[in-house]
Chains A and B, each alone.
Chain A
Amino acid sequence: MREVVVVGQPNAGKTLFLLNFAAYTGLSVADLALRAEDGTTTTKSLPLSAARRNLVDAARHKTQVVQSLELRFPSGKTARFARVSDTPGLADAISPDAVLRRAMAAALEALRRADVVLHMIDAALVGRHGEAAVAAVDREIADYGFARGPYALLANKQDLPLARAGTNVLRRMFPGRRVIPVSALQRRGFREVKLFVWRHV
């Protein structure tokens, strides 16, 4: 099965995106595969609504392990499956907190293994603060992901003001990359993401 990974800064909206996107592809109960930092996985079943309640938070660094869902992408009479993983947020600096560092290491490991990279950036933040809001780690991911395989930049939070301006900034900064405006909260742009993933798994 192909691995799709959602990466980005903390609080870009990765977890909410994964859960809402899973619901969009027709999933109702999430068999979350949680990959701990030592590389082992455990499975946990949660209804999506409960998962949203438990996993999504406005606090930074809420997600500390790699969480994956197997999603089904119907194609004609059959379907393709892909494992989509949500990862802990990556920040520029070295964190003094060992737990966070290990979480970030797990995120990098997932990024390294992925076949398809979905890179999520908070476009509303970029709209407000311009290029400064795009962290160095984002630039690196954009280069890395783009150089090695299917890569899409998800300009998230289109439900907030200035997100469109932010999306334009991102398009200018990362020429040649596929930029998809989405709103994880309002489930906008999911069709395009689904097509993109479907084409590459």
Chain B
Amino acid sequence: MLLSGQPVGPVYPADVIRMVAEGSLAPQRAVNWLSVLERRAGARPGADGESGAPAGASDALEAAWRDLDKLIGLDRVKTHLREVLAYAHMQVLRQQHGLHTEPIVLHTVMFGRPGTGKTTVARLMSRILHAAGLLSKGHIVETERADLVGEYVGHTAQRTKEQIRKATGGVLFVDEAYSLMRGGEKDFGREAIDCLVKAMEDQRHDLVVILAGYPEEMAEFLAVNPGLESRFPIQIEFPDYTLAEMQEIARLMCQERDYELSEAAAEALGVYVSIARLLPNFGNARVIRNVLEGAMRRQAWRLLNPDADARRRGLSRRELMQLLPEDLGEEVLACAKWSSSASPTPGRRSFS
């Protein structure tokens, strides 16, 4: 909802942008605020030109750090990244003061099952590195085997180079990287790896390569390519989310979309997750997202189908927002039913 007229105006230009997004400031007033704030700061944005960090860098950096902090769980990942990125940022600052610097290599391997936040963290990494002035663009190019490996001799290098060109200035994210080794000696995947390794050396100042995939397969992949492991100084493990974290993620996902889970629905989802996460290929946060997106569709039909009485008397704001257990789908309901018949206090047991 729109915030009521606040007495305090924005303090930083980044506040202005945020307030427009929140709806507490009209774009017309926002432009005016930008003029005022930037005049106050005394510096014309972009005046520092090509050198060093881009305009408004500290705002962007702060915002990116904040977004990283906002991610649920992932405590070890965050601590690790914070140190690595702070060190990288430090090298830039030291360089500006003419102090001795170490060459920064930021190529990364991410180990984690699906839905544990690898891509999200990769995106944030790119943003942070950009804001710190280490990457010129700060975007991410997501690739997988099919984008890198060609169909005939000589095609692979072309394809891989094309992806590298696109990713220059940002992050090249290779999902399920071990699939590059699939298919044995004669497979073109090898060529893609060689090409990547070369680019990682040549363009290490403006390209970060991130390999990601299932922990076991990635470990094996690195083990059979001993040269590869040493080129990726940063290795991050993404643990599965705990039950409590998953519930928090569900709550947040709903909140972001202006929905809410009824108490019973939250309970049912908790039971479902605690069972589903025992499966070998459990998709973590992605499962939650899929269940919730399905629930939003089912809720729509529940309220708008020709027989719904809610449709006749008009819908309240609360009804528009609330997701009930029956919206969550058969699988979730079945789990909840099974569990309530099996034990009196279901779903509260933690499997973590």
Contact = CB atoms under 8 A, between A and B. Distances in A.
Whether both chains belong to one complex is answered with yes
Interface of A: 1, 3, 31, 33, 37-43, 90-96, 98, 101-102, 104-105, 107-109, 111-115, 135-137, 140-141, 143-144, 147-149
B32 interface: yes
Contacts of B136: 1
Which of B17, B25, B60, B258 has the largest number of chain A CB atoms within 10 A? B17
A105 B139 contact: no
A101 B13 CA distance: 16
B23 A41 contact: no
Contact of B26 (A37, A39, A94): A94
Shortest 9 CB-CB contacts between residues of A and residues of B: A41-B139, A140-B31, A105-B21, A137-B28, A105-B20, A136-B28, A90-B27, A92-B28, A144-B35
B55 interface: yes
A108 B17 contact: yes
A26 B258 CA distance: 45
Interface of B: 2, 13, 16-18, 20-28, 30-32, 34-35, 38-39, 44-46, 54-56, 60, 63-64, 67, 123, 126-127, 136-142, 166, 170, 258
Contacts of A98: 21, 23, 258
A133 B62 CA distance: 39
B63 A39 contact: yes
Nearest to B24: A94
Contact of A104 (B24, B27, B54, B166): B27
A143 B29 CA distance: 12
B106 to A, nearest CB: 17
B130 to A, nearest CB: 9
Contact of A112 (B22, B45, B138): B45
22 contacts: A3-B46, A31-B166, A33-B139, A38-B67, A39-B63, A40-B127, A41-B138, A42-B142, A90-B27, A91-B27, A94-B25, A94-B26, A98-B23, A105-B20, A108-B17, A108-B34, A137-B31, A143-B32, A144-B34, A148-B35, A148-B38, A149-B46
Contacts of A102: 21
Contacts of B39: 147
Contact of B123 (A40, A91, A137): A40
Contacts of A149: 44, 46
Contacts, number: 112
A39 B34 contact: no
B60 to A, nearest CB: 7
Contacts of B60: 39
Contacts of A108: 16-17, 20, 27, 30-31, 34
Contacts of B23: 94-96, 98, 101
A14 to B, nearest CB: 15
A41 B166 CA distance: 12
B138 A113 contact: no
A112 B28 contact: no
Contact of B54 (A90, A101, A113): A113
A148 B56 contact: no
Given A113-B55, A135-B28, A42 B21 contact: no
B87 to A, nearest CB: 23
Given A39-B127, A112-B56, A115-B46, A140 B20 contact: no
A1 B49 CA distance: 9
Contacts of A101: 20-23
A58 B45 CA distance: 34
Given A105-B18, A105-B21, A148-B38, A40 B126 contact: yes
Contacts of A109: 17
Contacts of B34: 108, 111-112, 144
A107 B26 CA distance: 13
Given A105-B18, A108-B17, A141 B31 contact: yes
Contacts of B16: 108
B35 A140 contact: yes
Given A39-B60, A39-B64, A98-B23, A105 B31 contact: no
A120 to B, nearest CB: 15
Given A39-B64, A113-B56, A140 B13 contact: no
B44 A92 contact: no
B307 to A, nearest CB: 30
